[in-house]
Amino acid sequence: MPLTNLYKSRILGKSPNRRRFLQNSAAALSGLCLSSCGWTLGATPEATEQEDPSDKGKTQRSSDELYIYTWADYTDRDLLDSFTAQTGIKPIVDIFDSNESMLAKVQAGGGGAYSIIYPSDYMVRKMAGLQLLRELDHSRIEGLGNLFEKFQNPGYDSYNRYSVPFTWGTTGLVYNADKISPEPEDWNYLWERKPELFRQMTLMNDVREVMGAALRSLGYSYNSENSAEIRAAYEKLVELKAALANFTTDGWRDLILAGDLEIAMGYGFDALTVSEENPSIKYVVPSSGTSLFTDTMVIPKKAPNIKGAYAWINFMLQPEVTAELCERLYLSTPNRKTFDLLPTDFQEDATLFPSESVLAKCEGILPLNDEKEKEYARYWIKLKSS
């Protein structure tokens, strides 16, 4: 599935992707006063009295501020300023680099610091099961009916009881078409071309994505709970381990641009950034299937500014707002009316909006029970330490 370069004139240089932001910006950010533009890294707002539906008389001390916990590239200055202009509320953004690190902070007490959090689909179900999320009052939300039908009753959160989808995408193979031939079509390409690609390929540093890709290459589900299938996926990965340059979810971009890497496992929207700098970089969704993620907006149970949280959700459901954001940050939208406002080149790009035949082969990552999570973790530790 080749990438297009139709976005280059509009968005080149406007925004880093979320993982490149985390990788390259740590030193620079330490010298910036991020709070002046609505950004913080690791700052924890003072907890304030939360809204209780049974006590409407409570005063919301943080009503003029909204603390948001999200991925690094899901907001920008234009978006934050526009929200403040509409509502008078100042959004302050803190960022995380994985669902697991976000959950750990929330469980450690951070849930009372934020009024909006952006977990991925499987994490919504897990957080709901842990009773960390506030059930949404749909009467306070405008625009849910504008979502594409498949996002109005998603498998991870029936009828959007706890979450509102924000963006979605796929995992696949990013490669330099000038350096490898034939071009890859499936996960098995990595095993079949192991001698030619020796130390020229990477897999994500993510147990569920990597084990899931191996499972799909064997004809099994990304979410398999069959011990024999999980072991077979591990053994297949052991065969590939010595030929890998490393396990990295973000470091592949600079390597592939420098010519030190030929193929990497990555997200479609991350691949777009790299293709802007080198049009020979392409992206393919593996033919045997892959993961399909949805990142969402939720309100934690201890959110300090419930009114502001609903204002943010309603703001993010405004088609004009999200259409402009998708163009700036090249995100896939779950909102039908937003999609209709996008330029034709965006609508027709197969990386942002894969065909239904491609999506039919994809699976969302689902949470596992504790026993199976430990089983996956044991194999992952063995794989990386071998």
Alpha-carbon distance 18 to 96, whole Å?
Answer: 9
361 half-sphere exposure, CB direction, 13 A CA radius = 18
State the chain's maximal CA–CA distance in angstroms: 69
pLDDT in tens, 124-165: 999 999 999 999 999 999 999 999 999 999 989 999 999 999
**Burial class of residue 243 in the structure, from the number of CB atoms within 10 Å of its CB (0-12 exposed, 13-18 middle, 19+ buried):** middle
- Where are the domains positioned within the chain? 13-168+294-355, 169-291+359-385
Q: Could you give the angle at the alpha carbon of 151 between the alpha carbons of 150 and 156, nearest 5°?
A: 100
Going by C-alpha positions, the residue among 200, 346, 343, 185 that lies closest to residue 264 is 200
**pLDDT at residue 206, as a whole number:** 87
- Show the tokens assigned to 170: 């796929």
The full DSSP string for 175-210 is: EETTT-SSPP-STTHHHHTTTTTTTSEEE-S-HHHH
Going by C-alpha positions, the residue among 348, 292, 360 that lies closest to residue 3 is 348
Same topology between domain 13-168+294-355 and domain 169-291+359-385: yes
- Hey, what CATH topology would domain 13-168+294-355 get? D-Maltodextrin-Binding Protein; domain 2 (3.40.190)
pLDDT in tens, 316-343: 999 999 999 998 888 999 999 999 999 9
Rounded mean pLDDT of 102-128? 92
- Hey, what CATH topology would domain 169-291+359-385 get? D-Maltodextrin-Binding Protein; domain 2 (3.40.190)
Alpha-carbon distance 158 to 101, whole Å?
Answer: 25
Above 60 in pLDDT, residue 6?
A: no
Alpha-carbon distance 238 to 247, whole Å?
Answer: 13
Interhelix angle 99-107/121-129, nearest 10 degrees: 20
Sign of CA dihedral 126, 374, 174, 77: positive
pLDDT in tens, 260-288: 999 999 988 889 888 989 999 999 999 99
- Show the tokens assigned to 99: 């669902």
Q: How many helices (H) and strands (E) does the chain have?
A: 17, 9
Question: 13 CB contacts (<8 Å, ≥6 apart)?
Answer: none
- Residue 292's pLDDT band (boundaries 50, 70, 90)? very high
Above 90 in pLDDT, residue 2?
A: no
Above 60 in pLDDT, residue 37?
A: no
